[in-house]
Amino acid sequence: MYPEGVEIRGNSLRIWFIYKETRCRETLKGWLVTSSNIKKAGRLRAVIVSEISTGEFDYYLRFPNSKRALRFGNTNNSGSFTLLNDLMQRWLIIKETDYTPETLKKSRNALHICANLLGKDRAILNITHEDALTMRRDLLHGMTAYTNRTNKQGRSANTVNTYVTVCNEFFSFAMRSGFIKTNPFDNVGHLTVDRDSPEPLEREEFERLISHQSISDQAANLWTIAVYTGLRHGELCSLAWEDIDLKNKTITVKRNLTNQNRFKVPKTRAGERTVNLLSPAIAALQRQKAISFLYPSNDIDIALRQKGKKRIDKCTWVFITGLSKHGKSVNCGYIGNVAINRLWHDSIKRSGIRSRNPYQTRHTYACWMLSQGVNPAFIASQMGHKDMTMVLKVYATWMPSGNESEIAKMEQALKQSCPIYVPSMPHLKK
C-alpha cells in the first residue's frame, strides 16, 4: 500500500495534490522507485498539502521546471508567476515616461529579439548568466529573423552591444523590483568595436556628384548645402526658409526630423545653434529659393525635451517632395530621411563615384574644414557638439589628396626653423 497521493508510473515516482481546485501531478525526476523513496515521496506530498492549507505553497520553488509553474504563482511580491515576456512588456510601459518614442521603439525591438533567444515564456527566475552569454553569442553569429527585410547571418558588434545594454537595464529593474535576486547580465561585457573611419568626399568626387547631367537641381543644392554646413540629415529635412537669414549669412538650427517622421528639437542644447554659411552654401540656397520659397507654409508640432510639451513652428520647407521633371512640386511636403538616403545612393550611382553611406556629407564638412586649418572648437560649435572632443576623436582625418601638400608644408617649416646637419668632410692630404 503506497502513501496517499503517491503513484508509480513505470520506473518513475509521481505525486498528486489539489491546488487551486486543480488536480496536479508531478513526476519526481531522478527518484528511483525504492521503498525509502516511496516513503520520502509520501512525506514530501504531506508537506506540500500542509503548505497549500496555510497559503505558503510556492509552485515554482517546489517544481521550477514544471509547465504548471507557468500557470501558478511564485514567490514574488505580486503573488503571480512572472514570465520573461510579461515583465518586459510591463517595463516598456513604465519607460514610456523616460524614453522618446524613437528610443522606446528601438528598445521594444531589441527586447523582442532577445526574448525570443532567451525564451519569452520562461520564468524570469530561470534566466541564468550562462543564458545571457549564450544570447550574446547567438546575436553575433546566429541567423536574423526579420519579417520586413532580408535576413542575414549574424549582427554587428555594435548592434549586439546595444541589445546587451537594453537587457542589462531591464534585468536591473527586475532585480531592484524583487523579481530576481541577481542580474544575469552582470559582467556580460561589450564586444570590441572598431570605429569606422570617416570616408569624406574628395573635392573631385564632390564636383562629379553635383554636376552630373542626370542630377536634379534640388539634389545638387541639397548635397552642396549638406557638405558646406555639416547639417545632420534630419536637420536638412526639417530646414525651413524661416530659419535662413541670407542677409546675415546664417542658418538657425532649431528642429530635427526623426526616422519615425516626428519633428523635435535637437537632442542637446548644443544642437540648437547658428550655422555660418559659406559662399557655396549661400549660392545653393539662392538657387533653391527659386524652387521652393513661394510654396505655402505649414504649422508644425515640434516636440520639446520635456515630456508632453510641444511648440508650433511655421515652416516653409526648403527641400520638398513630389518635384516633377521640370522642378514643379505636386504636394510641397517635406523630404524625409528615407527619401534623402534613397536620393543619396541614386546620386552616387549616377555620378559613378565610390559608394559610401550618406552620413559622409557631414564627415566631409569636418574633414575639409580641418584640412584648411579651421579651429576645431569652431567646427564643433557649427556641427552641434558641446565641445571639440568629438571632432578631434572622429573627424581629424587628412584628406588623401592633401598629404603631399602637408608634407611640403612640413619640409618648408623644417628648413626655416631647424638647422640642417652637414657632416664634415675629411681633410685630404696634400
| pLDDT digit string, tens, across residues 210-227 | 999 999 999 999 999 999
Check whether residue 129 and residue 219 sit in a common domain.
no
Check whether residue 42 and residue 89 sit in a common domain.
no
The candidate with the shortest Cα–Cα distance to 159, out of 118, 190, 130, is: 190
Three cell numbers at 294? 513661394
Q: Does the pLDDT of residue 273 top 60, yes or no? A: yes
Check whether residue 226 and residue 113 sit in a common domain.
no
| pLDDT digit string, tens, across residues 166-205 | 999 999 999 998 889 999 999 999 999 887 788 999 999 9
Three cell numbers at 332? 510641397
**pLDDT reported for residue 69:** 72
**Residue 194 is assigned to a structural domain of this protein:** no
The candidate with the shortest Cα–Cα distance to 26, out of 45, 50, 54, 43, is: 45
**pLDDT reported for residue 191:** 93
**Residue 352 is assigned to a structural domain of this protein:** yes
Check whether residue 165 and residue 267 sit in a common domain.
no
Q: Please tell me the pTM assigned to this model.
A: 0.69
CB 71 within 8 A of CB 26: no
Check whether residue 118 and residue 209 sit in a common domain.
no
Q: Which residues of 339-367 are buried (b: 16+ CB within 10 A; e: fewer)?
A: ebeebbeebbeebebeebebbbbbbbbbb
154 class by beta-carbon count within 10 Å (0-12 exposed, 13-18 middle, 19+ buried): middle
**Residue 103 is assigned to a structural domain of this protein:** yes
**pLDDT reported for residue 355:** 94
Final residue of a structural domain among 176, 193, 225? 176
**Residue 223 is assigned to a structural domain of this protein:** yes
Check whether residue 243 and residue 345 sit in a common domain.
yes
DSSP string, 346-389: HHHHHHTPPP--TTHHHHHHHHHHHHTT--HHHHHHHHT-SSSH
Q: Which residues of 54-66 are buried (b: 16+ CB within 10 A; e: fewer)?
A: eeebbbbeebeeb
202 class by beta-carbon count within 10 Å (0-12 exposed, 13-18 middle, 19+ buried): middle
Residues spanned by the domain of 165? 84-176
Check whether residue 224 and residue 144 sit in a common domain.
no
The residues annotated with a catalytic role in the active site are 232, 267, 362, 385, 395
- Mean pLDDT of all residues in 103-118: 95
**Residue 293 is assigned to a structural domain of this protein:** yes
Check whether residue 208 and residue 101 sit in a common domain.
no
Q: How many separate domains does the chain show?
A: 3
Q: Does the pLDDT of residue 243 top 80, yes or no? A: yes
Q: Which residues of 118-128 are buried (b: 16+ CB within 10 A; e: fewer)?
A: bebeebbbbbe
Check whether residue 215 and residue 354 sit in a common domain.
yes
CB 157 within 8 A of CB 192: yes
Check whether residue 220 and residue 154 sit in a common domain.
no
